[in-house]
A and B are shown apart, each in its own frame.
Chain A
Amino acid sequence: MVNDALRSDASAIPAARKAAGFRLSNRQREWIAGYLFVAPDALGLLIFVGAPMLLSLSLGFFSVSGFGAYSFVGLANYRRMLADPLFWQSLRVTVLYIVMLVPALYASGLGLALLIQADTRFNGFVRTLLFMPQTVSLVVVALVWQVLLIDKIGVLNRFTSAVGLGSVSWLGDPHFALIAVVVVSIWFLMGFYMLIFLGGLQDIPKEYYEAAKIDGAGPVASFYLITLPLLRPTSFFVLLVSTVTAVCGSQTFDLVYVMTRGGPANTTSLAIFYVYQQAFLFNEYGYAAAMASVLVVVLMLITVLLFMLTRGGRFTYE
């Protein structure tokens, strides 16, 4: 498949040249080469990302049967959504999840990065271990934590009862299940944000800290006066990416699907999981697409909001 794509590209350029009887100017040759090089990815993204995006906005106005028959139902799916208590519940859970996860990832990522920012062998070792959870699949993560958190006999409960804190049904108690999902998410994701912050910290010139020290600023003062302001672009990136991850990162589905199935009492039914449930367990594709279209819009709003909150955030790509 790879070879085919390459061969057709390779032969297309001389072929095009020959067809025009070598009358193509250098500029035209560059145009043709540019389009041919971009074409595979441009078409692929258009078909497998762009089209589904547009489709999700329109699919919500249809009722889709399990066999793929469509009928136009107007706003019915959206009206149903407003009256569906489980939809509101999933939004509530999603907001709670964002509110807990995003600040926790920011704090743990920055804290860990500050702790190990010096470029020593020891810190390199610590960094490797802290990042390691990221390399394990979320399904494995979910399974392992499920065993560790099992009622009474799970390792965590053995430890908590040993120190007299008693045993908690982490994944079975509606008060704790979402917190457990958040904690596992933090454990899985923090290494990534630590690395992003490390990259940001590296870019702050050391002279600033030396100058501050001469002026008598302690570590706390130089953190607030130098580190935080100069980290603003990194902070913006981290907040943006972690918020998007909290709404629709793969952990929102994988962890919930394996660990809790949205339970107990729908307390871990994140929006992404609820959409999946409606589509693939109840065959309500149209309804699911209607809900997903709301997610797409919410995502865009979050991006705009964060962009304004950070006063532009110097979010440049050049």
Chain B
Amino acid sequence: MNDGARATLQLELATLRPTRLALHLVGLLLAFTAVAPLFWMVSMSFKGANDIFGVNLVPDHPTLGNFLYVFTQVDFFRYLWNTFFVAASVTIVALFFHSMAGYALARLRFPGRDAIFLAMFATFLISQPVIIVPLFILARALHMLDSYAGLIVPSIFNAFGIFLLRQFYLAVPRELEEAAVIDGAGYFRVYWSIILPLSRPILSALAILFFLANWNSFLWPLTITSDQKLWMVQVAIASFRQQYNASWNYIMAASTVVALPTVVMFVIFQKRIIESIKTSGIK
């Protein structure tokens, strides 16, 4: 690079700096606007009933009373446990089923494979809200109302997970399994001791996404549970809202408890979550 070119480059950098600084500021401002409502939620959960609508973000007299009330007056631990149990069960079963299906659809040759894949893919755009009425009628016919099975089983199946895993297995080198097949391993052995360990990164990303989605799901649990003992947290806090109409300090404390696990999970696993979403867009 000659001196002239270096000089123009420096000039360029110098003029760029204010714009870059401005862009940084805009980014920072937008980012804080995005999380501000969550800060308010936490702030209000520590405020007393009287100063909950104060505009100060830091409470004047912070109190844990709201949290104590939520955990002592209602069976909140039970709702949290129900939610954890359902979300974890759906996640574990779904990962096994989807990885098995994804492996077979990507690697094994059998008649009708492509037709099966297409049929599965046709359900890709159909979300639970659209089929909520027939799904409820089906669950009722199968005696799944007010049961853990009803909460868990219908949430396991979705084409998104199968699709992503199939894509992943298509890219895995064939030599790895062929060596095992020659050694006389059955297909299940290949799946269990070669395919599953290989797919640990994508499975952990999917595990987080599935767990978050099921922890946060509302419509289905609301529709099929009327027994309070089976309530999931989202149903519980929505009905809080009706029960403690204006007691926003309690409602915000409960909301903070419900939001905390997913936000913490996101912060811990954010790299993985962000990468998996970034690559899920179709190119």
A139 close to B131 (CB less than 8 A): no
What bracket does the count of chain B residues touching chain A fall in? 35 or more
- The interface residues of chain A lying within 8 Å CB-to-CB of B134 are 51-53, 55-56, 59, 289, 292
0/1 interface trace, chain A 198-216, chain B, CB 8 Å (1 if under): 1110110000000000000
Say if the beta carbon of B219 comes within 8 Å of chain A. Answer: yes
Q: Which of A82-90, A96-104, A247-255 contacts B (4 or more CB under 8 A)?
A: A247-255
Interface of A is mostly: helix
- Chain B's nearest CB lies how many Å from the CB of A78? 15
A49 to B153: give the CA distance in the assembly, Å: 12
A199 close to B53 (CB less than 8 A): no
Known interface pairs A29-B187, A199-B281; A250-B217 also in contact (CB < 8 Å): yes
- The interface residues of chain A lying within 8 Å CB-to-CB of B93 are 1-2, 5
Q: Which of B87-102 contact A (CB under 8 A)?
A: 89, 92-93, 96-98, 100-101
Say if the beta carbon of B278 comes within 8 Å of chain A. Answer: yes
What number of A-B contacts does a CB cutoff of 8 Å give? Answer: 302
Say if the beta carbon of A305 comes within 8 Å of chain B. Answer: no
B157 close to A292 (CB less than 8 A): no
- Chain B's nearest CB lies how many Å from the CB of A9? 6
A129 close to B281 (CB less than 8 A): no
- Across the interface, A34 reaches (CB within 8 A) one of B97, B109, B126, namely B109
Interface centre among A56, A59, A187 (most CB of B within 10 A): A56
Residue on B nearest A129 in the bound complex, by CB: B31
A257 close to B238 (CB less than 8 A): yes
- The size of the chain A interface, using a CB distance under 8 A, is 106
- The interface residues of chain A lying within 8 Å CB-to-CB of B151 are none
- Chain A's nearest CB lies how many Å from the CB of B41? 5
- The interface residues of chain B lying within 8 Å CB-to-CB of A30 are 108-110, 187
- Across the interface, B37 reaches (CB within 8 A) one of A116, A139, A145, A196, namely A145
Q: Which of A212-241 contact B (CB under 8 A)?
A: 233-234, 237-238
Residue on A nearest B189 in the bound complex, by CB: A10
- The interface residues of chain A lying within 8 Å CB-to-CB of B163 are 317
A53 close to B131 (CB less than 8 A): yes
0/1 interface trace, chain A 144-186, chain B, CB 8 Å (1 if under): 1111101001110011000000000000000000000000000
- Report 7 cross-chain contacts, Cβ distance below 8 Å, ordered by A residue: A33-B188, A41-B100, A42-B120, A48-B157, A126-B30, A135-B262, A299-B125
Question: Which residues of B are in contact with A by a Cβ distance under 8 Å?
Answer: 23-24, 26-28, 30-32, 34-35, 37-38, 40-41, 44, 53, 55, 89, 92-93, 96-98, 100-101, 103-105, 108-111, 113, 116, 119-121, 123, 125-138, 140-141, 153-154, 156-159, 162-163, 167, 186-188, 191, 212, 215-219, 222-223, 234, 237-238, 241, 248, 251-252, 255, 258-259, 262-263, 265-267, 270, 274, 277-283
* Supplied contacts A126-B27, A145-B37, A250-B218, 4 more A-B pairs, CB within 8 Å: A44-B97, A56-B130, A133-B37, A143-B251
